[in-house]
Amino acid sequence: MADPASSFAPQPAGATGVLVLAAGQVVWGRGFGAEGAAVGEVCFNTAMTGYEEIMTDPSYAGQIVTFTFPHIGNVGVNEEDVESAVDGAVGCVVREDVTLPSNFRSTGTFGDWLAAKGKIGLSGVDTRALTRLIRLSGAPNAVIAHSAEGKFDLPALLKRAQDWPGLEGMDLARVVSRSDNEDWQGGVWALGKGYARSPHSPRPHVVAMDFGAKDNIFRNLVKAGAQVTVVPGNTPLDDVLALKPAGVFLSNGPGDPAATGIYAVPVIQGLLERDVPVFGICLGHQMLGLAAGAKTAKMHQGHRGANHPVKRLEDGVVEITSMNHGFAVDNAALPDGVVETHVSLFDGSNCGIAIKGKRAFGVQYHPEASPGPMDSFYLFERFVGMLG
């Protein structure tokens, strides 16, 4: 087989950005945002809105997001839509150049915001072709690079992409989790009012384990009637129990659930043994499955978007959900103690479980992202309702 570096696509005039895949393909475009180079797994997201929320979701750590919707950046950015202060996606690929924003909530441009966050953008790309490649061949490792002068060392970028080990076996939750406990104060956002404050009345106490959480999860727990304390994802069981939780929430996050589960699963098993109510989302859902004896596996392309239909098996209701995951609980080999509660109508993959004899359940999707827009809020109410 010929050396891929010997057959790079020629650099077109005006190209200031490039995506170099580990298999040797080179995708040229126009760079924006931060200059430099970053390595990650290339995925695609089908959402038509919420690009700022997506780029600040810690679940995207170690990933380069290809947006299938062509007009990304056209409503600008604002601080209210930031989901986390920690790193999310390392970069993004878009079809059209970012235009000046047209939205009354905008306080800046997407390109300037990316530059301030140290994230790289690449525009002018045939995102349909890139998405098709991912669908056919799986999510590839790659390097995204931006140079205002258009100077790139392609062989070095290719080597960096090929040397990166990929997300399988990688514990990224430890990187994006907070380092200290936090008494959560914020409520949900309302137009013209901003974010509400947490009520001072006595409420069931939820300890939320942060594996790379989106802030809106905590806001929705507050809206559902909980008092929330957020703790690092590697908090020991005794420290969690010392906070006297009425229930424990397991957050979303990046990376391989089996890798993060090395330290998190024993904690979850300890909670289940003590019949503490548990609710998990995304990575938290996957690790709840591992704690109950299920298995997880890397998906071919993953599920990422705001329009994923999920069937609730107890009554056949279909929820329109937001998703962002590249791993899933294997529903072909669930142990006797695990009940499947939700499935994807795209491919039949697992989207929800409940643990028999326990007050514990999880979903693979993101109910806090307002899919539907309110199809899935009942999950927060169901959890808080278990707490007494």
Candidates 41, 282, 285, 319; catalytic one: 282
Measured between alpha carbons, how far is 73 from 109 in angstroms, rounded to an integer?
7
Measured between alpha carbons, how far is 322 from 340 in angstroms, rounded to an integer?
19
- Report the side by side order of strands in the sheet with 205-210: 182-183, 227-232, 205-210, 247-250, 278-281, 360-363, 350-355, 338-344, 296-312, 318-329
Q: Which of 15, 16, 83 is nearest to 282 (CA)?
A: 83
CB 316 within 8 A of CB 349: no
Is residue 351 annotated as a catalytic residue, yes or no? no
Candidates 41, 83, 319, 368; catalytic one: 368
The strand ranges marked E within the chain are 17-21, 26-33, 36-45, 63-67, 91-93, 120-123, 141-146, 182-183, 186-190, 194-197, 205-210, 227-232, 247-250, 278-281, 296-312, 318-329, 338-344, 350-355, 360-363
DSSP 8-class letter at 58: G
Strands 296-312 and 318-329: antiparallel
Structure tokens belonging to residue 103: 């939205």
Candidates 285, 303, 308, 366; catalytic one: 366
Instruction: Count Cβ atoms within 10 A of the Cβ of residue 296 and give its class: 0-12 exposed, 13-18 middle, 19 or more buried.
Output: buried
Is residue 282 annotated as a catalytic residue, yes or no? yes
Is residue 168 annotated as a catalytic residue, yes or no? no
Instruction: List phi, psi (to 5°) of 203.
Output: -140, 160
Strands 350-355 and 36-45: unpaired
Measured between alpha carbons, how far is 245 from 248 in angstroms, rounded to an integer?
7
Active site residues: 282, 366, 368
